[in-house]
Structure 1
């Protein structure tokens, strides 16, 4: 098996990918609710693809999959909940804000509780997933 250049992505760049993917997730998730024509459905599909490719590349760079996915989904959850309140006029709820804070505490706790053995298993799973999606081949072609 050939080594992929994705594993050479720095941790900082990997976290930028996670954050970018999470932010784009906010837009495509709202797009699922508000899309009503082919252009908006297409943009939603592109957003889904972009955000998940960012997440997969971040995981391939040796970040822990459990933490990456939690942060990715946490950004999406917080972003969508706040956008629904601020942009789309959903009612403000202290309970909703409290649960979002609880989610963020859970993500931080997950990061603090991971261990090396879990990380190795999660990394092997992520590499298999990226290979199945063909991301390894794309990266190898771009690096040539």
Structure 2
């Protein structure tokens, strides 16, 4: 293998690319070896013996896969989160989670006949107003107001 570093350097300067992007035709190595001036290298570039390779980009395929998984709701576990809980979970999501658990507990109490239908309706509305922070607080409220069904 002949040393073509000076020809490669000249070609890179002429083509305005890095030396790694200069391709030299392996069939015409002897011609390139004989070219020692800029003019001779320019002639070889014109003859397509020396060509600049296309710029290599960074593939987005892996990024697209991750993006697709995130769209599907993956990669959202505790290990992927930074910042406080309140910063990450939107107010709407926090509200939906809370109100769903409150309404679920109210349905359970009504189904097991621990509270009456009228109590259920009243407390359901109170829960919707945002009075209760948790299921435990809801149950404390029912106990304090003596809304449990009389046995």
TM category, shorter: under 0.3
Counting helix residues as a fraction of each chain, which structure ranks higher? 1
Name which one, 1 or 2, has greater alpha-carbon Rg.
2
